[in-house]
Each structure stands twice: as C-alpha cells, then as structure tokens.
Structure 1
Amino acid sequence: MTTTAVQQEGRANGLSGSTEAALGGATEKALRDVNFARQPLLNRDGMLCGFELKIQQVVTPQANPDADASGADAAGTDGGAPAHMSVQARNSALIRALMTPEVRLALTGHPAYIDVTRELLLDEVVKTLPAERFVFELPPEIEVDDELIARIVTLHGRRFRFVIDHVTQVDERFARLLPYAETVKIDLHRTQPALLPKLASVLKSAGKLLIAVGADTHEDFEIAFNLGFDRFQGYFFARPHTGETARRVSAPRHALLNLLQLLAGEPTVAQLEAELKLNPVLVMHLMRLANASGLALGLRVTTLRDAINATGTDKIARWTQLLLYADGRKVALEDDPLLQLAATRARFMELAVARLRDAGRDETDAAFLTGVFSFVDAVFGGSLETTLNVLMLSRPIRDAIAHHEGTLGTLLTLIEALERGAWDVADHACQSLAPLTRAEAAELALTAAAWAGIAERSAEAEGLERIED
C-alpha cells in the first residue's frame, strides 16, 4: 500500500492527521517483508479476547542487505524466514512489522499471541515490544536448556507472558517450561481423546489457563468448554448451529432483512421513512448514525426524514448489513467475533477488488456484499441458498458465496486463506487475480481489520451498536 493510500484509508476511518502520518511512514516498508494472518481467540462468553498472529517473512534482495550473492528470493513458513537473512536482520524486520500502526489497529485493543523462536527470545530487540500487547508462544520444536530458561525468567521479570504451544502430551520439555508459562495451548485434534480430560484437569488444578486449538465446530467448542477450557481458537462461531446455543432470528433481524430488501430496490425517502417507522430500534440507531455524521458539519438531525437525507442510502445499507451480525448482548463492537470477522472480510473484498483491472463502483459494491453475507448462514441457520435468495443478491454474488465461483469467489477463497494463514492457498488464488499479489493482499487484510476495529469511532459507523433482541 502506498503512503497516499494509507493516508486516504486513515481519513476514511476518521483518523487524526498525526495518525495518518504514522500510517504513511513506517508501515509500507515494514509490512513489505512480513505478512500476517490474524486468527481470533474467544473467551467462555464467546467474545474476542485476543488474536494469534500467523507470521511469514518474505524478503526481496532489494530490501535485504544481508542476502547472499545469488540474491534469490525466499520465504519462510509460520514464524520462519529466508535462510539467507542474518538472524538479527530477521528479528529486527519482524519487530518493526509488529510495531506498525496497522498491526496495532488490527488487534482492536486485544493482545497478540505470536510464535517465537529461540533466537528471537535471546535477541535484545525483543525487549522493545510492549509486554501488555504481546504474548509469546513457545513452539513444540524450540530447544529447551538452561540458557533458554534463564532468558524466559528475565523476560518474565519484564512482565512478558508465555504460552506452551500445541501440547499433545506431557514430556520433559513440557515439564521444564510449565512453571514459567501462564497458559497452555492444547490441540484438540492431535491429543488422544482419553488423555484430554486428565490433561485439562491437571493443568487447571495447577492454575494454568487453557486454550483449545482447532475449535472449528460447535462440537469442538462444547467438548472443550465442558472440560473447563478458558479460551478457544477456531471458527466455530462463524458456522451454522441448530443446538441450544444457536443464534435465534429475532424481530430486529427480520426488520433488518426487510430493510435490506427495500434498500436493494432504490427506495424513495418516503418509502424508507415508512419502513423505519415500523421499527423504533432501527430509528434510534439511524438517528445516532446521522448525528455522528452531521456533527462534523455543525448540524443537528432532529427528524427521521432528515436522518435519512443526512446519512444517505449507501451508508444506511452498509450499516444495516453489518448489524445483521450483532447479537443481542450489549458488548463492545471490537469484542464481537462474528461482527469483526464479517466487517473485516467485507472491507477486504472491497479493497482487493479495486486493485484488479477494470474494477468500478459496481464491482466494489458487489465485493463488499459478497464478504458481508458470506457468514449469513451463521446468523439465520437453515439453507444458505435460501437465505441468499431472500436477500435478493445477484447471481455472481450468490455463486461466489455458495460455490466460490468467478472473480468474487476467488477473492473469497483468498481472504479465507489469509484468515487461516494458508499461504500456499493464498498464493494460488492470487495467480488468477493479477496484478494483486499475496503480499499486497495480506497488507489489505490488515487494513481491513483495522477498519473493522475502529469502525465504532468512525463518523460513518456510529450506528454500529448492539440491538436488543
């Protein structure tokens, strides 16, 4: 992303001039060499409590003065880096990227869990990270000896927190690290089912927080929840569910669907006013949205008709689309995992399609709709096709969501890969999305996450508040 693009994004999000300058300064260079994927962690109430940052370092010869004579480009796996980089250069590049404003904004105020190498822990540069924002995950392959333990003790004294990552069994390495770890991550699908309850019980008795890795279905979540796990990493919350904890289609959501159907037909102000008057809750949110926008112009909106005129149908439509994902609980927007995921995906689709050749206003609108409605079955349950038809979406959008077909479908595949940190899948998707590259896509995904995270402070999105069911 160019400096100008970053600054424009900042203004679109309601950022101050100083923040724009910061975004336009170090971000472009730092994120050029390090790609991030963001995976949510949820607490027992189903709310966001952190993100794991999947990391891949990619260094071009021009950006890396330590490259070997061949100048060959190379890429590492999660937490890895090109072999031709010096350890210090690799560590410094990673720390610079982690400290960029876009990474900070993408975390929406939550801590980031990052895999650390032995070399990074022993490097003094690691101390420049703010301990309250980053949690260090100790991977299974890390070499544990007296030197590493001493370093962990030193960093622990500086308030850094540690997680033993991807535990599947108890061994000598695990036993040495356990006294210094606040949290243990247990892989639900690689741990023997008979061992899982005992392992969870012993660790809980020892006062450790437990994170369930691989909670991608509601069954996974319920098993881990019943065993007393504290955190859950996986996308179970974005899957349809018909059990007792399923989302119910409330009257406000029916109202939102009716409003979306009306907005799809280019309604008059009088038609919108009549529909909104049937739903006092929506009127309340629209008035807040309109006044948030109007305050910048020194205006005060006092009537519903004025609110519609001040806000505009485009903003009302997007506000309504995102409100579909708001559950009935009164929690902060940045803590709602499904709303954050839907908003991030929609914004990414919109930004990414604009990088393609011959993309215009219709394409960007269709891309946003594809992203925002790609989770609609998680809200309403039932048949995805039926729900998409009720929303009266165009055939390309429906095909993209239901079958991942067309350019929109490929973009959807791309953002899904970035959400999982599936770099090879992302590379493959980008082959048919030229000139968009995977590095650019990863940066756009961070930009989209930042947009979703600060949306409630944006004048355009003051209406993104919780609706009482």
Structure 2
Amino acid sequence: MSLNAADRPQMSGVAGGTQSPEHAGPPVDVYFARQPLLDRDGLLCAFETLPRIVDRRESADIEREAEAAARDAAAGMTARPSVTGTALFTGFAAPALRASLAGHPAWLDITRDSLFHDSLQRLSPERVMLELPVDIGADPELVARLVALHRRRFRFALDHVSKADESFAKLLPYVDAIKIDIREIAPAVLPKFASVMKSAGKLLVAMGVETQEDYQRAHDLGFDRFQGYFFAKPHGGARRSSAPRQALLNLLHLLAAEPTVAQLEAELKLNPVLVMHLMRLANSGSMNIGRKVTTLREAINATGTNAIARWTQLLLYADGRKIAAEDDPLLQLVATRARFMEIAVTQLEKAHLEEEDAAFLVGVFSFVDAVFGGSLESTLEVLTLARPIRTAIVEREGVLGRLLDLSEALERGNWASVDALCESLAPLDAPTVAAMALAAAEWAGTAGRDAEDEGLERIED
C-alpha cells in the first residue's frame, strides 16, 4: 500500500530541530538518528538518540558566546544558556522524536555544556538516560551538577568506557550505567572489568554487538543491554517464527500472481491463524467500512490484496514468542526501513506509484536472510522478486539501491555517509531524511499496537 497525501510527513522543517533560516529562531539545526538497545531476553527496551547539531552562525557570533560564558565562569556567575544547548533540548522534546520511540525510553548523548543547561531540567527523568562522554572530566563543579541532577532523579551512563583511569573512578559513584564497546577493550581484560562493574551495581551495556558470537560472549559475561545489529544478521535460521513461514511464502507467491478472491480465499482457509488475524484486521477501525465483517470473503474485499501482501511480508519477521510488536527489534527495524524507503522515493523527481511499492519491498526483503538463514541471493531467488528489487538489495544498484544504503547510514547515525548519498538523491538532504526516518519509526511503532491498515498484527499460535 502506498502513501497517500495524509500519510506523508511534512518536509518543510527539520524533525526535532530548529526552524530554517527564513523562519524565526536560532540558526542551529538539530536532528536525530536512533539506535536500538536490547535487554537480556532480546527485546527492544530503549533507543539511543544520536543528535546531529549543525551550527550555522557566523564564527564571530560563536566566539562571542564562548567569551561571555568564560567571563561568567570567572565571575562565579551561572552561565547563560547556549544556543546549541537550547536547540538540542528543543529538538529532543519535539513530538516527532517522542513518537518515534514507540513508548520506549531514550538514551541521550549530551555534552558538558548541555549538562548545565536549564532546559535539561524540563525533561522527564524517568523517560531518559543521559549519556556522558568519557572525557567530560570529573572536577568539583561537574560532580556537584551530577549530584544536584541525581536529586531530581536523573540517571547517567558513562559512554565508550575502555579503561579505568582517575577520572573514571571519580565519576563511577554518580553513574548508573557503563557503556563498553566490546571491540575496543582487550578480550583478556573484559571479563574482569565486567565483573567489577557488576559488583559495583552498574548496568552494563555492550556496544558494537554485530554478530551472534558477540552477543553470546557479552551475555555470558553478564551484560544487561546490547547495542548493535546482531539481531538482524543470519544465524542459521534459528529465529522463531510467529507463523509457518512456508504458509506465508505460499500466500506471497499467490498474491504476486494477482489471484481472484476465490483463489485467495482457498489459500487462506488452509491457514486458520492467518484467517483469524485477517478478520481482526478487516474489523479494525482503520478499514472504515461502517459494518462488521463476518465472512472471509468480506474480509478479503474490505482489506484488499495490497494490504494483505504488506501484512504477510512483515509477518515473516515477527518473533514467535508472542511479544508485543513494539518490543520486537527485528520487526521494528524492518518496518521502519521499508516505510522510510517508501516515503523517501516519493520525494524524488519523477516518482511513480510502482516505485513506491518497489521501495517498500526492497526495505522489507533486505533482511530476509536473517529469518531464513541461507544466503541473501538464494532466498531472494526463492521469493521470485522482480530483478530491479533483487539487484537493489544485493548489488545496491539504481535509485533503490542508494536509498537502501541511505537507510542503513541513518540507522547507524553515519551522517557523513548520509550527506554523501543525499548528493546523488536530490532534493533529499540530511534534515529531510532524518524527518522521514522518524515518521517511518512512528508508523512502525504504532501500527502493531493499533492494528492499523498496513497490519503489524500479531500472530498467535
């Protein structure tokens, strides 16, 4: 199903940022990427929000602000709020960012300057973990600020810890979590370091977890949270499915052949679980048919083959543990990427309806090896996808291939790659695609909870 005008996010502003130069407001742009954090059960439990702050002021204005702050500090006065700090917290409080979190708390990267900003105290302490850079210092003024914010129930994580130096030792009593990039600390040192931190009562977060081996190693060492994309990588087809995948594949093959209602009805009748959820989908408020659907044929006609196909595609990724859709990290990642690509392609010149549908399919099936366990190429062949879709996924060819690269760069907060890719995807730019990504994440996070028409319905055995 393609986006209609009401679905498409407004692209005139920056999601979570300040206004553009022709509008009132400080000349600072702030926009965000998100990265998932998983708990020990493999469930999505939080998002790290990665801000990009683009200060468009003249260098003289920036220098004057720094000089004024230095004078205030020398005189023992409270520093005036910085322009960038104001922009950061304004962006973080924006509805678009909050909606993209699917009800999960945020971990926010902050600087020393923003830690002292008055706007910080307007945040909801129970909904945010403040990440301190490891080089933030440990002077009396900083420690006093941490103590004061702790009294207001704010929590802190120390980011990218790789050694226990004097500054780390001074900060340790005031932080609740320690983030360790498992690729940047010696394997022989990591077990002892993790053990000491656990004994100190700290929440341990493993960063850079990109393979199942990384995850298992960190899990065995007692880490509590895991950040990386190991959950979206193939691991022998071990991921539990929420419905028989062969039944879903058979249904997808039939849908691709433009079946009659009678043919689709016959195939669905072989899968009672799918019938049950199709009936629920047809009777959801999003269908707006004004009456209750009571037969399978009515459900097919009310829902439409396009919505059934999209629903079936996403169900390939649903976890079989009957967890909520918004807590399923792979399902959220797939749905967000697919929706992002569908939105993004509409902003390109000469976009067509067929390209919107193809962009969604590229996003959906770019993860298919994670659930089937074979090579990406062989699995795509089995799905009999059109050649442009396959080449976009495997070879990254064409506009759809570049959009797929762009989606991955956004997922990792790689802004340099985002900028470079946008140069060949005019009129897209980093603020615009960041806004699109938040809109896509909101769609992915709410569709399963509200049984929206695109259908992240849960399948239960």
State TM-score, norm by structure 2: 0.89
Preserved contact between residue 255 and residue 279 of structure 1 (Cα < 8 Å): yes
Specify the code of the residue in structure 1 equivalent to 2:408: E
Cα separation, 2, equivalents of 1:294 and 1:455: 10
Cα separation, 2, equivalents of 1:256 and 1:403: 26
1:9 is displaced (CA, Å) by 3.2
Matching of residue 56 in structure 1 with residue 49 in structure 2:
no
Cα RMSD after superposing both structures: 2.4
Aligned position for 1:352: 344
**Change in CA separation of 1:295 and 1:240 when aligned onto 2, cut-off 3 Å:** closer
Gap runs ≥5 in structure 1: 13-19, 61-65, 72-85
Which structure 2 residues correspond to residues 320-399 of structure 1 after superposition, within 5 A?
Answer: 320-399=312-391
**Change in CA separation of 1:370 and 1:27 when aligned onto 2, cut-off 3 Å:** closer
What stretches of structure 1 move > 6 A for 4+ residues in a row? 23-26
Preserved contact between residue 14 and residue 431 of structure 2 (Cα < 8 Å): no
Preserved contact between residue 42 and residue 232 of structure 1 (Cα < 8 Å): yes
Identical columns (%): 61
1:90-117 C-alpha deviation (Å, 9 max, x unpaired) = 0111111111111001111111111111
Match of 1:269 among 234, 252, 261: 261
Cα separation, 1, equivalents of 2:449 and 2:14: 24
Which structure 2 residues correspond to residues 396-435 of structure 1 after superposition, within 5 A?
Answer: 396-435=388-427
Specify the code of the residue in structure 1 equivalent to 2:379: T
SS in structure 2 of the partner of residue 9 of structure 1 = coil
Higher relative CO (CA 8 A, sep ≥ 6), structure 1 or 2?
2
Which structure 2 residues correspond to residues 26-425 of structure 1 after superposition, within 5 A?
Answer: 30=18, 33-60=29-56, 67-68=58-59, 88-242=82-236, 246-248=238-240, 252-293=244-285, 296-425=288-417
Specify the code of the residue in structure 2 equivalent to 1:117: T
1:102-151 C-alpha deviation (Å, 9 max, x unpaired) = 10011111111111111111111111111122111111221221100010
Cα separation, 1, equivalents of 2:143 and 2:195: 25
Deviating more after overlay: 246-255 vs 360-369 = 246-255
Aligned length: 434
1:371-398 C-alpha deviation (Å, 9 max, x unpaired) = 0111010011112111111111111110
SS in structure 2 of the partner of residue 167 of structure 1 = coil
Cα separation, 2, equivalents of 1:91 and 1:464: 37
1:394-428 C-alpha deviation (Å, 9 max, x unpaired) = 11110111111111000000010010111111111
SS in structure 1 of the partner of residue 204 of structure 2 = strand
Preserved contact between residue 342 and residue 372 of structure 1 (Cα < 8 Å): yes
1:438 is displaced (CA, Å) by 1.8
Preserved contact between residue 448 and residue 458 of structure 2 (Cα < 8 Å): no
Gap runs ≥5 in structure 2: 21-28, 63-79
SS in structure 1 of the partner of residue 244 of structure 2 = helix
Cα separation, 1, equivalents of 2:293 and 2:380: 34
1:144-197 C-alpha deviation (Å, 9 max, x unpaired) = 211000100111111111001111111111111111111111110001111100
1:207 is displaced (CA, Å) by 1.1
1:209 is displaced (CA, Å) by 0.8
**Change in CA separation of 1:27 and 1:242 when aligned onto 2, cut-off 3 Å:** closer
Preserved contact between residue 17 and residue 90 of structure 2 (Cα < 8 Å): no
**Change in CA separation of 1:25 and 1:181 when aligned onto 2, cut-off 3 Å:** same
